[in-house]
């Protein structure tokens, strides 16, 4: 039985992970959970899965949860310190990192440094400090298993093959909720419209990232560090059906792809049980029912965020961390209706233009860049005309 910790247990990845735990009670045991401040769902998870320790973002929420869980054998912590303590629980073998955004970096790195294998669902730690993450993983004998459907597909397509034989990686993109809109129509897109993803049910932040194609920009950065492939050999292809999750082309021009219906439980379970596969009770892919699979190139004019991801990698150092932080601020402002859809990319661009990158030698270098970019992006947001 594998003992696990889940960071972000009340979100989409976290709840799907716990669904797998519930389906296979003899395979996994939950030692710790962390969440934002959704204590209703977290209380339900505590009662169902009996973790030893949990943590939430705010002490006020932790205090209310302690009252609700009085008499239960669970320790309830709060803040970043509490989340890091959960991530470092000595009895756990694996951490499922599903916290949204940059907040996942510190606890995920703490888990690596305590020797835990990582099932990585949130891409931001690799975007912010991929080189550092991989160095620490190598130092502590830790494996990082991708959970993102695209990176899991590449991971599976690389199995049994030599990395030196890889010609390029091809990440597929659904195109998000707004792919068919014109530039003029994009100007007036509301958050409600942008959140209507055609294929996947995800959290609000990642759904907006999908609509801007920043999700793909972040994935390009993540793929560079996960698979040790330069950005010049990582491409993106828009595939609206979300059936082919990504592809690998080899030097002999053969391609290997991973296909499946869009359900995150497949890549989650593969990371959790690698190299074995769990017999999931999910619908099978029927290609005759799908009928056809379509592909097209990304439109960088309508969706410039993807190109910003490539640019951050080419510049290197702290630039990807600054880009990621600016994106988080801009997306939040859009969701709060403080800026318009097309202004998301503009805030990121101006933040990157103002940033003076440096090499990342330590965790603090990445965190400093993150803090600086949040402040800069925030000031840009406030300066935009309402």
Predicted confidence at residue 151, as pLDDT, reads 97
DSSP 287: H
- 251 plus 305 within the same structural domain: yes
Domain assignment present for 67: yes
- 372 plus 287 within the same structural domain: yes
How far from each other are the two terminal CA atoms of the chain, in whole angstroms? 55
What residues make up the domain containing 358? 151-262+282-383
Q: How far apart are CA 84 and CA 48, in angstroms?
A: 23
- 225 plus 346 within the same structural domain: yes
- 232 plus 83 within the same structural domain: no
Domain assignment present for 354: yes
Can you tell me the mean pLDDT for 96-116?
94
Q: Which of 146, 163, 183 is the last residue of a domain?
A: 146
Q: Which of 146, 165, 200 is the last residue of a domain?
A: 146
Domain assignment present for 268: no
pLDDT band at residue 321 under the 50/70/90 scheme: very high
Domain assignment present for 357: yes
Can you tell me the mean pLDDT for 37-63?
96
pLDDT band at residue 206 under the 50/70/90 scheme: confident
Q: How far apart are CA 244 and CA 246, in angstroms?
A: 6
Predicted confidence at residue 219, as pLDDT, reads 96
344-364, pLDDT tens digit by residue? 999 999 999 999 999 999 999
- 107 plus 83 within the same structural domain: yes
Domain assignment present for 30: yes
- 142 plus 161 within the same structural domain: no
Domain assignment present for 267: no
Helix (H) or strand (E) holding 248, with range, is strand 244-250
Q: For residue 26, how far is the Cα from the chain centroid?
A: 28
- 178 plus 289 within the same structural domain: yes
- 327 plus 216 within the same structural domain: yes
The structure tokens listed for 90 are 């000595």
Has residue 157 got a pLDDT over 80?
yes
- 58 plus 176 within the same structural domain: no
Can you tell me the mean pLDDT for 70-90?
96
Number of domains in the chain: 2
Q: Which of 95, 130, 146 is the last residue of a domain?
A: 146
**Judging by DSSP bridges, how do beta strands 255-259 and 244-250 pair with one another?**
antiparallel
- 135 plus 189 within the same structural domain: no
- 171 plus 43 within the same structural domain: no
Place of tokens 């990304």: 298
- 142 plus 157 within the same structural domain: no
**CATH label of the domain that carries residue 101:** 3.40.50.720
Backbone φ and ψ for 4, nearest 5 degrees, come out as -125, 160
Predicted confidence at residue 61, as pLDDT, reads 95
pLDDT band at residue 196 under the 50/70/90 scheme: confident
134-151, pLDDT tens digit by residue? 999 999 999 999 999 999
Predicted confidence at residue 200, as pLDDT, reads 66
**CATH label of the domain that carries residue 327:** 1.10.1740.10
Domain assignment present for 369: yes
pLDDT band at residue 101 under the 50/70/90 scheme: confident
Domain assignment present for 269: no
The structure tokens listed for 280 are 């999931």
Q: How far apart are CA 205 and CA 338, in angstroms?
A: 15
């Amino acid at each position: 039985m594998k003992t696990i910790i889940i960071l972000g247990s009340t979100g989409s990845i976290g709840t799907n992970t716990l669904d797998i735990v519930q389906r296979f009670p003899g395979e996994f045991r939950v030692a710790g959970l962390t969440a934002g401040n959704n204590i209703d769902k977290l209380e339900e998870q505590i009662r169902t899965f009996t973790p030893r320790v949990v943590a939430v973002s705010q002490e006020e929420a932790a205090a209310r949860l302690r009252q609700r869980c009085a008499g239960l054998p669970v320790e309830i912590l709060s803040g970043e310190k509490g989340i890091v303590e959960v991530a470092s629980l000595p009895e756990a073998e694996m951490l499922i990192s599903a916290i949204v955004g940059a907040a996942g970096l510190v606890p995920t790195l703490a888990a690596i440094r305590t020797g835990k294998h990582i099932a990585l669902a949130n891409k931001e730690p690799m975007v912010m400090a991929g080189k550092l993450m991989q160095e620490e993983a190598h130092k502590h004998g830790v494996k990082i298993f991708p959970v993102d459907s695209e990176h899991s597909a590449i991971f599976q397509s690389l199995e049994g093959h030599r990395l030196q034989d890889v010609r390029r990686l091809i990440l597929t993109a659904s195109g998000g909720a707004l792919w068919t809109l014109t530039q003029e129509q994009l100007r007036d897109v509301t958050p409600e419209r942008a959140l209507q993803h055609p294929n996947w049910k995800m959290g609000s932040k990642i759904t907006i990232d999908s609509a801007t194609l920043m999700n793909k920009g972040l994935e390009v950065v993540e793929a560079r560090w996960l698979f040790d492939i330069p950005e010049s050999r990582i491409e993106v292809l828009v595939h609206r059906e979300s059936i082919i999750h990504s592809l690998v082309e080899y030097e002999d021009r053969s391609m290997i792809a991973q296909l499946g219906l869009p359900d995150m439980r497949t890549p989650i379970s593969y990371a959790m049980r690698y190299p074995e596969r769990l017999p999931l009770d999910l619908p099978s892919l029927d290609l005759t029912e799908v009928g056809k699979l379509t592909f097209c190139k990304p439109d960088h004019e309508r969706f410039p965020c993807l190109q910003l991801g490539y640019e951050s990698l080419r510049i290197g150092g702290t630039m990807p961390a600054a880009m990621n932080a600016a994106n988080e601020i801009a997306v939040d402002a859009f969701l709060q209706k403080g800026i318009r859809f097309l202004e998301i990319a503009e805030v990121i661009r101006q933040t990157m233009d103002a940033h003076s990158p440096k090499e990342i030698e330590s965790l603090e270098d990445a965190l400093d860049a993150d803090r600086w970019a949040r402040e800069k992006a925030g000031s840009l947001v406030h300066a935009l005309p309402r």
